[in-house]
Each structure stands twice: as C-alpha cells, then as structure tokens.
Amino acid sequence: MALDINKIRNDFPILKRQVHNKPFAYFDNAATTQKPNSVIDRMDKVYRETNSNIHRGVHYLSDITTRDFEAARDTVRRFINARHDHEIIFTPGTTSGINLVAFSFGERYVSEGDEIIISAMEHHANIVPWQMLCERKGARLRVIPMNDKGELLLDEFDKLFTSGTRLVSVTQVANSIGSVNPVKQIIELSHRHGVKVLIDGAQAVQHGYVDVQELDADFYVFSGHKMYGPTGIGVLYGKEEILEEMPPYQTGGEMVDNVSFEKTTFNRLPFRFEAGTPNYTGAIGLAAAIDYLEATGLDDIAAYEKDLLEYGTRQLSEIDGLHLYGRAKDKISILSFVLDDIHPFDAGMVIDKHGIAVRTGTHCAQPLMDRFGIRGTIRASLAFYNTREELDRLREAVEKTIQMFK
Ligand code: PMP
C-alpha cells in the first residue's frame, strides 16, 4: 500500500512552518528527524499526567511510569527482534552506546598489541572511541578500505584479521554518502575468525527492518532522534552472554544491588548498564516513534524513500557542475554532492534562503572526505515526509546558487 503523504505531512507539525517566508523543506534528516504528533503528545502526557522516577517507587505514579518504561524496552526488543528485554540497554544515543562498549568490553578484552577493525566510512562516533581505547591499551586500529563508489572492499577486509583482532565495529549505513554495507556478510566473516561485531545502526533502523538475531550482531547501537523519536535516548543491544561478562561502565544508583563502604555488588541486566535515572520520558517517546513507524509501514517507507532517492538523483545529475558522491549499489536516501568552485558552506547558506535545510561540511566523517580528496559536501538526506515537489525546489535552488556564484 502506498503512503498517504498528505496525512503523513499533517502528522509532523513542524513541516507546516515557514523559513525565510518560504515553505519549509527539511532535508537534514540524517542529522535528526522531525517528530510526529503522537511522539510529542506521548511525552507531553508523561510530564502532565504520570511523571515520577522509576523503579524505586512504591507509589501509584512511579508504578505507572516504571511499567511504561519497561513496556518501551519491550517495544524496542520486538522492533529489532532481540531475544530478551534485558538485552536492550537504554543509553543517551549511539555515541554513548559505542563508548559504553569501548570502555566496558574494551577494558576487559583488549590488550597491548591487539587490533580493532573499523571501516573507511565511519562517523567520528565510531572512530574516536576506538582510537582512544587503542591509545589506552597500546592496541592498533585497522580500517576496511572502500572503492570510489563508496562500497567496502570485503576481500581486503578478510585480510585484516590477525590473531590479535578483538572487535569489528562498522556502520550499517554511511551517514555521509548513504552506502548500505553488507553487514550480515561482515558479521559472518568476522565470526569465522572468532571476532565479535558491533553494528552502528544510527542511519539504518529508520529506513527498514532490523533483525539483530537474523544478522547475528553481537552489539547494535542506534539513536531515537534519528528515527522520529526524542533526543537524549538511544539503544545499545548486546547479546545476553556477552553483556553478562562485561564489567560496569558508569557506576552509581540504579546499577547496584548492594552497597556498603566496604563492597558493592551490581544489579542484573539491563540495569547494570543504566546508572542513574534513565531518560524514561525519552524511552516512552521512542516507543511511540516505533509504533508510528510500524503503523505507517516500514516496507512502504523504504519503497517511497527509494523512489525519492531515484528522482532526486536524476534531478541533481542533470545539473552542470554538480558532482554526486556515493554511488553504492545499495544505498539509502542521501544525496551528497559538491558544486564546482563553490564552497559547500556558501552553497548551504544560499540554499537556506530558499527555505530549504541541507547540511554542509564533513558530516563527522573527515577520513571519508580525505579518501575522496574533498573538503566536504552538501548533503540532502531525505525522509518519507519529503516530496518530489520539494526536490524540484532543491534543484531550482542549486541552479540559482550556481548562477549566483558565476
Ligand atoms: N553513527 C552514525 C552513522 C551517525 O549518523 C551518527 C549521527 N550523525 C552517529 C553515529 C552519532 O549519533 P548521536 O549523535 O545520536 O550519538
């Protein structure tokens, strides 16, 4: 069934606003997505009707909020098809999830001379935590190279494994150029070498189904705010048997079992990794976002976004002096491009004056920009509330920008 785009656009109140006296066209969805009424209303309801700190209360509202928070965990579990609720750790976001693994798993299993493998198209959030871990431990970072289209070279990947490889951490979808990586194959290959894998799903979960059991991912991380949910909430999925063996990362309330000044024992999963008051309102909002995505239909969303990507690619390809980056066979709806002799930042400023939001720069993927020998791109990242008409406006705005700088 096709999407009812008018209904969808009505669900997102911000899309009705004007920017610079023009209808607002939002193409910065890879940075963060807009929120539907159902998510905004659900969080509003928490603060107006049920707000209370969770888990430790015996009173009425604390009980309701605790149950809503744990129901949200179950919604996430179902959404990514994890086996157990306690494999779902709520975090502030993707970055926090990766840091948790880098500190906890990294502290226990990585030693001097060991190696971590990442890829050439990682977001800084999936580079720097590993780099810092390597510095702390005297370990080494290895990088899976890619071709000019933005596809990882799996033959080269296979050659990177040594007896010291401790973890592979790769993105499922590249935020800068949209490549979809064959993560199932990457996981299979890594497991053949006896190495565990973390998948950065920050740009993947919102574009289609993710099944962590089918992938056999050891860790899977993502952020609520990139999937139409709130900021400040994200998820780290980890296989039960791996999480059970990992030492705590942050410590304090909630993650403990028994505390005395002599000794502390730790709580069971998932609470052991959720120190302090969790963002329960965010978690409940995230569950509302998942409900919204499922009610809309993830298959229909993916099909609609594919059509938008093809249309946008055709429109932009016809512009003289525009060069698209990221031509992977499998890619999601991201149009990343440069214009001859115009700095991406200048172009972004002019495009903004048309009421169109695009992002410019390196998109937190500086090594990828270096690989292409460019200083950055203009990125239009599309969501299922965008339209072909908005892409026509983008084309027109880009053409006017080129004219202006001539
Ligand atoms: N990984 C990828 C692929 C991303 O696109 C992003 C956000 N741009 C992150 C990690 C970091 O996510 P967050 O800022 O929500 O922690």
Pick from 28, 32, 91, 95 the residue to mutate for probing ligand 1's pocket: most ligand atoms within 8 Å of its CB: 95
CA distance 224 to 32: 9
- What distance in angstroms lies between residue 171's CA and the mean position of ligand 1's atoms? 10
CA distance 389 to 398: 14
Atom of ligand 1 nearest to the CA of 125: 10
CA distance 184 to 188: 6
- What distance in angstroms lies between residue 315's CA and the mean position of ligand 1's atoms? 28
CA distance 73 to 87: 9
User: Which residue has its alpha carbon closest to ligand 1 atom 8?
Assistant: 31
Is the Cβ atom of 381 under 6 angstroms away from ligand 1?
A: no
Is the Cβ atom of 33 under 6 angstroms away from ligand 1?
A: no
Contact 380, 325 (CB under 8 A): no
CA distance 278 to 286: 13
Indicate the SS3 state at residue 284. helix
Q: Say whether 134 is catalytic.
A: no
pTM: 0.98
What separation in angstroms does the CA of 398 have from each of 30, 134, 318, 320, 364? 20, 43, 11, 10, 23
Among 171, 231, 233, smallest CA distance to 201 is for 171
Longest dimension (CA), the chain: 73
Q: Which residues contact 375 (CB under 8 A, 6 or more apart)?
A: 343, 344, 362, 369
Domain boundaries, the chain: 5-27+297-397, 40-294
CATH of domain 40-294: 3.40.640.10
Written as tens digits, the pLDDT of the chain (406 aa) is 689 999 999 999 999 999 999 999 999 999 999 999 999 999 999 999 999 999 877 899 999 999 999 999 999 999 999 999 999 999 999 999 999 999 999 999 999 999 999 999 999 999 999 999 999 999 999 999 999 999 999 999 999 999 999 999 999 999 999 999 999 999 999 999 999 999 999 999 999 889 999 999 999 999 999 999 999 999 999 999 999 999 999 999 989 999 999 999 999 999 999 999 999 999 999 999 999 999 999 999 999 999 999 999 999 999 999 999 999 999 999 999 999 999 999 999 999 999 999 999 999 999 999 999 999 999 999 999 999 999 999 999 999 999 999 8
Is the Cβ atom of 29 under 6 angstroms away from ligand 1?
A: no
Q: How many other C-beta atoms lie within 10 A of the C-beta of residue 390?
A: 22
- What distance in angstroms lies between residue 14's CA and the mean position of ligand 1's atoms? 22
Query: For 363, left (φ over 0), alpha (ψ -120 to 50), or beta?
Result: left
Given the residues 19, 160, 357, 364, select the one marked as catalytic: 364
DSSP 8-state code for residue 50: I
| pLDDT the model gives residue 1 | 65
CA distance 338 to 304: 25
CATH of domain 5-27+297-397: 3.90.1150.10
CA distance 141 to 120: 11
